[in-house]
Amino acid sequence: MKAARGWAELAVAALIAVASGCATSPAPAPAGKCEASEWRVDFGIEKRTLVSTGRNPYFILEPGFKLVYESRDGKLVITVLDETVGIAGVAARVVEEREWERGKLVEVSRNFFAMCRDTKDVFYFGEEVDMYEGGKVVGHDGAWRAGVGHAKPGLVMPGSPVLGMRFYQEFAPGVAMDRAEIVGLGDTFKTPAGTFGGCLRTKENSALKPGEVEFKTYAPGIGLVQDEDLLLTGYGFIKE
């Protein structure tokens, strides 16, 4: 058991070392200042003024904002809640995601975000996950929180995106290591909710499964409009 734990500790250390490109930033500069060839993991969080409400061109973090997506067999609803949670000394906004497959609820997650007041970079502080089968919770795969173990906040959407930027969205070694590369800016994309110009496109994978790649598209003033085969069908502010 001691030997196994030693290998696990070495693996975590290796992941941190590999991912720590651009790790020493002197100030809360925009995330785009990192060299494009590196997977950035350190964003100088401790030097930033973080807020729980706001927006940048491709991400709205305002209570009541809702996004609905559908595919042939699935549905996803994302809602910014009027709720915050304290994580690693930061008041993080709760964003709920509910996902269905063939009409059955398969996952509910509570995601935690905060925004840099000055640069408008949006950071991801973790998530609580409930996986469902037959209407019952059967697991919590992928759940993590910044400040627990080696987990630290990731960048979910830069305030000033630059083509070629590469950054970790999640950094919880062994649990959640999603990362994104900006591969398109200024694209036009059509969805059932409308046709949008000036879109940002990302190529995403996980350091835990680097061979599995997916693409997402974000429209200015709205946010995510396409997640693989899920397309935006509705969006806007709701009243509970």
Which 3 state secondary structure label does DSSP give 7? helix
Q: Is residue 223 part of a domain?
A: no
Identify the band that residue 239 occupies on the pLDDT scale cut at 50, 70 and 90: confident
State the residue range of the domain holding 41. 2-177
Phi, psi of 221 (to 5 degrees): 80, 0
Q: State pLDDT tens for residues 151-173.
A: 999 999 999 999 999 999 999 99
The rounded distance, in Å, linking the Cα atoms of 195 and 176 is 33
Residue 4 has pLDDT above 60, yes or no: no
- What average pLDDT does the segment 170-180 reach? 95
Residues 33-46, mean pLDDT to the nearest whole number: 76
Q: What is the pLDDT of residue 205?
A: 95
Average pLDDT over residues 118-132: 97
Q: Which residues lie across from 222 on neighbouring strands?
A: none
**Predicted pLDDT of residue 37:** 52
Region 184-189 average pLDDT: 97
Overall number of domains in the chain: 1
The verdict on residue 128 lying in a domain is yes
Q: Answer yes or no: is 164 within a domain.
A: yes
Percent of the chain with pLDDT over 90: 82
pLDDT score of 17 more than 80? no
Q: Is residue 147 predicted with pLDDT exceeding 90? A: yes
Q: Please, which residues have CB within 8 angstroms of residue 177's CB and are 6 or more apart in sequence?
A: 15, 168, 170, 171, 206, 207, 208
Task: Examine the pLDDT at 71 and tell me if it is beyond 80.
Answer: yes
Return the structure tokens found at 169. Answer: 């969205």
The CA-based angle 38-12-174, given to 5 degrees, is 95
Q: What is the pLDDT of residue 224?
A: 98
Q: What is the pLDDT of residue 109?
A: 98
**Cα-based torsion angle of the residue sequence 75, 78, 79, 84 in order, rounded to the nearest 10 degrees:** 140
Which contacts of 183-192 are long-range, i.e. CB under 8 A and separated by 24 or more positions? Answer: 183/215, 184/217, 185/161, 187/217, 189/217, 189/219, 189/225, 189/226, 191/225, 191/226, 191/231, 191/232, 191/233, 192/70, 192/231, 192/232, 192/233
CA atoms within 13 A on the CB side of 213: 6
22/24: higher pLDDT? 22
Residue 227 belongs to some domain of the structure: no
Task: Determine the average pLDDT of the residues in 19-35.
Answer: 43
The CA distances from residue 125 to 8, 13, 107, 113, 190, in Å, are: 23, 20, 19, 6, 31
**Average per-residue pLDDT for the chain:** 88
pLDDT at 30: 58
What sign has the CA pseudo-torsion 144, 98, 31, 39?
positive
In degrees and rounded to multiples of 5, residue 78 shows phi and psi of -115, 125
User: Once rounded to an integer, what is the mean pLDDT over residues 218-222?
Assistant: 98
Q: What mean pLDDT is predicted for residues 61-66?
A: 98
pLDDT at 162: 96
Q: Judge whether 191 lies within some domain.
A: no
pLDDT at 29: 53
Q: Residue 115: inside a domain, yes or no?
A: yes
Residue 71 lies in a domain: yes
CA distance 110 to 130: 9
User: What pLDDT is stored for residue 170 in this prediction?
Assistant: 96
